[in-house]
Structure 1
Amino acid sequence: MTTMRTRRALMLAGSAVALTVALTGCSAINGILGNGDADRDEETGQVTESSNVGVFAVKLGDCMMDTGTGVLTDANILPCDEPHDQEVYYEITMDDGDYAEDNINAASEECIGDAYTSFVGVAYQDSALDVTTLTPTKESWEQANDRVIQCIIFDPAGQTEGSLAGAGR
């Protein structure tokens, strides 16, 4: 449904380390869309208890466990004050049009630009933290009108508790 890409690997190695996430038809997309959402605080929208949700239900500000490798159809999200691996800190919505991997790669560079600096408090190249992205696949683009790139921050040293907003490292 989406593809994971580690941005630091892209910058340092010149090529993305990607978790290729593919769907095999409309039934898989319909299953993802139908998984519902986690329990959320009505005012803040923050997750109030751990839940396994379809990947389309992951929202800006959500914290989650490592998505692993292989086909990504769901995610384990949880309150950010609990130990977690990743946090969605920024979203980019692509314009309609034909699916183009190059356009998605170019747009996802925003994840390590001003959005990163504003969120963390230091520039990406000066930070100890790392970034990965959830991006549309050709199938999700064409079959589910998926246009959102989610920028996800994580600490390569291990799990964190609380948001990494303003971490300054």
Structure 2
Amino acid sequence: MSTLSPVLRAAGASVLAAGTVLSLSGCGAVMSLLGQGNVMELNVGDCFVESSMNTALADSEVSDVPLVDCAEEHDSEFFFSHEMTEDEYPGDAETQTQAEEICTGQNFTDFVGVSYDESEIYAAYLYPTQETWDLLNDREIICYVNTPGEMVTGTLEGANR
């Protein structure tokens, strides 16, 4: 179990996710439109090392999440995808609120095996920006689990921790 209170834990994960995903979704998706990168082609079950993604985010032209085979060491795995249904982009704040609920609620519990508040595993997400919504018809919120400071092999599905 995490040593942080659930409120602090959720706030920290939200800040991490918000900073990471805005940078990745905005720049990366536009680069994908130009035929580069994998940002618009991520799938549930894809694995990566979050520090490698964060290093890639230091460049303003990020277009890839550096995926690894899940049989290799990694600390992050995409576990749920949701297509937003609104006609108009609901704004960054509303989109982040939806992503937070989708990725730390029942979908997390179903995947990991325990509720987010009880888990030592973190959740974060990538989501559409106004730019990707308009240019690429991007409506996907994709959630990932993360084990900070711990590398794993295989899936975290059913980890029950």
TM-score (norm 1): 0.74
Q: Distance in 1 between matches of 2:38 and 2:28?
A: 15
Instruction: Determine the structure 2 residue equivalent to 1:134.
Output: 126
Q: Distance in 2 between matches of 1:77 and 1:154?
A: 14
- 8 A Cα contact 2:46 2:77, kept in partner: yes
Instruction: Determine the structure 1 residue equivalent to 2:140.
Output: 148
Which has the bigger relative contact order, CA under 8 A and spacing at least 6? 2
- 1:79 Cα offset (Å): 1.7
- 1:16 Cα offset (Å): 2.8
- 8 A Cα contact 1:92 1:107, kept in partner: no
Change in CA separation of 1:10 and 1:126 when aligned onto 2, cut-off 3 Å: closer
1:55 corresponds, among 20, 34, 39, to: 39
Q: Distance in 2 between matches of 1:91 and 1:156?
A: 22
Instruction: Determine the structure 2 residue equivalent to 1:96.
Output: 86
> Aligned-residue CA RMSD in angstroms?
2.6
Change in CA separation of 1:139 and 1:93 when aligned onto 2, cut-off 3 Å: same
Per-residue CA distance 1:9-38 (angstroms, 9 max, x = gap): 673369633223133996x3422xx34xxx
Change in CA separation of 1:161 and 1:141 when aligned onto 2, cut-off 3 Å: same
Change in CA separation of 1:128 and 1:151 when aligned onto 2, cut-off 3 Å: same
Q: 2:111 aligned with 1:110, yes or no?
A: no
- 8 A Cα contact 2:13 2:123, kept in partner: no
Per-residue CA distance 1:89-143 (angstroms, 9 max, x = gap): 0011101322222331221111111101110010001011101101111111110
Amino acid at match of 1:30: L
Amino acid at match of 2:88: D
Q: 2:14 aligned with 1:23, yes or no?
A: no
Per-residue CA distance 1:32-81 (angstroms, 9 max, x = gap): xx34xxxxxxxxxxxxxxxxx51111111111222113444111112211
SS of the equivalent of 1:115 reads helix
1:65 corresponds, among 33, 49, 67, to: 49
Instruction: Determine the structure 2 residue equivalent to 1:45.
Output: none
Q: When the two structures are aligned, how many residues end up with a matched partner? A: 143
- 1:150 Cα offset (Å): 0.5
Q: Distance in 1 between matches of 2:78 and 2:140?
A: 12
Query: Structure 1: any 5+ residue segments left out of the alignment?
Result: 1-7, 36-52
